[in-house]
Chain A
Amino acid sequence: MREFEKPDFLQLFSLVAEATKSRATDHHLTINPAFGKGFAWAAVLPSGISVFVVDSLMSQDAGFKRLAGDDNYFCLQFSEQSVEAGAHKRFSNDLQSFVKLTHTINDEMFLLPAGVRVQTVAFFFNKDHFAAVIGKSVMDEMLTQHFPLLIQNNNLQPIATEYRVMLGELLVEKVEQPLRVNYIQNRVLLLLEKFIIKLHRKEDVSKKKVKRTDDETMRLMKVEALLVRNFEKAPPTIDELSRISAMSPTKLKNDFKSLYGLPIYEYYQKNRMIKAKALLMLGKYSIKEVGIMVGYSNLSHFANTFKKEYGHLPSELAARDGMLVYNT
């Protein structure tokens, strides 16, 4: 297993390039077909934060290890993993999406297992990166309470709706934006912001303790991942989900809401609209195409639902933004 030491994702990136014999240009690579498919890129931002993005489906296992060091950095990792059909059933969970916080004082593994689609955005940061922007009280709360707790327990957090827009914008083969560096940095900082705010909110409500085992949380995360994986098809029914998660429908509904903040169907719908908006903003697809991609055969239903969520029609987005080409 290849190893690296510094809290610098350019190092991990070079190792990935080396391990998969892929040619890297400008810290971007397409995985050599002999090893799998997908892409990876890394960047060091002006703030010193280094970020790594990978979307891969390997045909051979690849693993990397960061050795413990005393650099005092944190690593925040957003990852979605799904087992492709036909792959070995080596994994108990065939779907997983999580947010994980680690510290450079411990070893850490980055795995790209064969047969598993892995989509990850990860970045290193240290306390200086947010000492300037957050008040001392929250800072102390993070550094002395939340962070150590999360790290010790190896605690995985669910990927909530609010992260998805930024993740989607970063999980592309190449960020093609005129202000590329600022674009990446802003999205990374937003991810960090949402993460901190979520932790902070949790503090506020910690009095009413939620009783849920880690295993149940994992099962709910699986439900969530299934729900937002593909909008072209109708979502799984509550019954199906309750079977998959081995929970009663009532428990599933209640627990899902307490973990993700919205009832199951509303959550699904919100993510569907986020996806639709993101697709429209790309300017690559017509409204009709986007409607179909998020599972609407009836365009006026799509338009109305969109309006309900954002207060304006998809066509208004196109016209007002002036950046979109649409050809219905």
Chain B
Amino acid sequence: MLRFFANAFQTKIQGNTLQLPEAVGTGYMKLIELPNGLQGILSDYTVHQDLLLTRTKITDDFYTLRFDEVLIPEVQAEGNIPKLAMHVAPVRSAVFLGSTKFDWMFFSTKGTRVKGINILFSRQWLEKFLEAENVGDMIKKYLSLKMSAFNYEPMDVEYKRFLAEIIGSQSDPALETLVIQNRIMLLLERFFTRIYHKMSDMHFDVKLSNGDINQLKEIERELVKDFSVEPPAIPQLARMAAMSPSKLKNSFKEIYGLPVYQYYQKHRMNKAKAMLLSRKYSVKEVGMELGYSNLSNFAKAFRKSFDQLPSDLLGR
């Protein structure tokens, strides 16, 4: 991964560290490989130009857990930074769990300082991590369902403290691995503990049979597969899932947290945002791609989700 960045920025990696070239920014990205099988990239840099990082999905089953503390230059009013979710990683400080099976984007505007750590681990690693835990199965079930939805939470004092201890670690190089590994394990512990609490708050119910859950996953995939065409109607989805319409609606909401259509719409808008941010498409093209023949309907829907018009986003 670091090698890829090196290519993109046309710089060389020295040891495990990559220094950003002057044109892009000041700072570094550093690869760490821990004895417990985790890989991570530590970074601390300030960008000199708008920078968009994207990752294209691959079929390998890896998770990435990102902790990004983002300091945006003051000229930028808070209101300009809309809430982001799902396929677009937040430009605000946040903790984000993603899967390599999904596309991912990270957009930082000129002058932004990004301090963070990105931890990469495989499904097998996670299995082992949760092996001895009573709630392990529940978390795995939750993740398998939620993976396409967003898993992100605000970066609070505690996270920042661990992060600072990792990035600012001034210890003897011989002790560095020890200190970093312990902090990373604390970050993971805290993140999954909070996922678990969130789960309990949502009354995440595992009463549904595995068969039902698999059906719902099918439905979810079907729903977000292609936004350029109308989504299937509820009765049609119910037939596909072999459930009654009301059972489908209730259990979908229970698992994905939103009613079917709202869920669809949210992901549709997230995709729109991701496409716009990539700057490869015009507003019109994005609207068309997402099945809006009427552009003003698209603009309105977009504003409803993000409090700004698609054109404002591009105009930045």
Q: Considering the chains assembled together, what is the distance between the CA atoms of A316 and B175 in angstroms?
A: 33
Name the distance in Å between B126's Cβ and chain A's nearest Cβ.
12
Q: Considering the chains assembled together, what is the distance between the CA atoms of A183 and B194 in angstroms?
A: 13
Give the B interface residue count (CB, 8 A): 34
A137, A185, A316, A321: the one within 8 Å of B174 (CB): A137
Q: Are B132 and A46 in contact (CB under 8 A)?
A: yes
Q: Are A135 and B131 in contact (CB under 8 A)?
A: no
Q: Are A182 and B177 in contact (CB under 8 A)?
A: no
A130, A186, A316, A317: the one within 8 Å of B189 (CB): A186
Q: Considering the chains assembled together, what is the distance between the CA atoms of A152 and B100 in angstroms?
A: 52
Q: Are B185 and A178 in contact (CB under 8 A)?
A: no
B154, B178, B179, B185: the one within 8 Å of A182 (CB): B185
Contact A200-B196, Cβ < 8 Å, known A46-B132, A132-B35: no
Name the distance in Å between B35's Cβ and chain A's nearest Cβ.
3
Does chain A have a CB within 8 A of B59? no
Instruction: List A190-220 residues whose CB lies under 8 Å from chain B.
Output: 190, 193, 196-197, 200
Q: Are A189 and B193 in contact (CB under 8 A)?
A: no
Instruction: List B169-219 residues whose CB lies under 8 Å from chain A.
Output: 171-175, 177-179, 181-182, 185-186, 188-189, 192-194, 196-197
Q: Are A179 and B192 in contact (CB under 8 A)?
A: yes
Interface string of A158-184 (1 = CB under 8 A from B): 000000000000000000011111110
Which residues in A have their C-beta under 8 angstroms from that of B158?
Answer: 321
Q: Are A136 and B174 in contact (CB under 8 A)?
A: yes
Does chain B have a CB within 8 A of A229? no
Instruction: List A130-162 residues whose CB lies under 8 Å from chain B.
Output: 130, 132-139
Interface residue tally on A, bucketed by range: 20 to 34
Please, which residue of chain A has its CB at the minimum distance from the CB of B131?
Answer: A46
Q: Are B178 and A312 in contact (CB under 8 A)?
A: no
Does chain A have a CB within 8 A of B135? yes
Does chain A have a CB within 8 A of B261? no
Contact A312-B157, Cβ < 8 Å, known A179-B189, A186-B189, A189-B182: yes
Interface string of A31-60 (1 = CB under 8 A from B): 000000000000000100000000000000
Name the distance in Å between A227's Cβ and chain B's nearest Cβ.
25
Q: Are B197 and A135 in contact (CB under 8 A)?
A: no
Contact A197-B182, Cβ < 8 Å, known A179-B133, A320-B156: no
Does chain A have a CB within 8 A of B129? yes
Which residues in A have their C-beta under 8 angstroms from that of B154?
Answer: 320
Q: Considering the chains assembled together, what is the distance between the CA atoms of A268 and B173 in angstroms?
A: 32
Which residues in B have their C-beta under 8 angstroms from that of A181?
Answer: 132-133
Does chain B have a CB within 8 A of A323? yes
Please, which residue of chain B has its CB at the minimum distance from the CB of A321?
Answer: B156
Which residues in A have their C-beta under 8 angstroms from that of B135?
Answer: 178-179
Q: Are A179 and B156 in contact (CB under 8 A)?
A: no
Interface string of B138-174 (1 = CB under 8 A from A): 0100000000000000101110000000000001111
Q: Are A135 and B177 in contact (CB under 8 A)?
A: yes
Can you identify 22 A-B contacts, CB atoms within 8 angstroms? A132-B35, A133-B177, A133-B181, A134-B174, A135-B174, A137-B174, A178-B133, A178-B134, A178-B139, A179-B193, A180-B133, A181-B133, A182-B133, A182-B188, A186-B182, A189-B182, A190-B186, A197-B171, A320-B156, A320-B157, A321-B158, A322-B156
The 8 closest A-B pairs by CB, nearest first: A135-B174, A132-B35, A178-B196, A138-B174, A133-B178, A181-B132, A178-B135, A320-B156
B: which residues have CB within 8 A of A? 35-36, 128-135, 139, 154, 156-158, 171-175, 177-179, 181-182, 185-186, 188-189, 192-194, 196-197
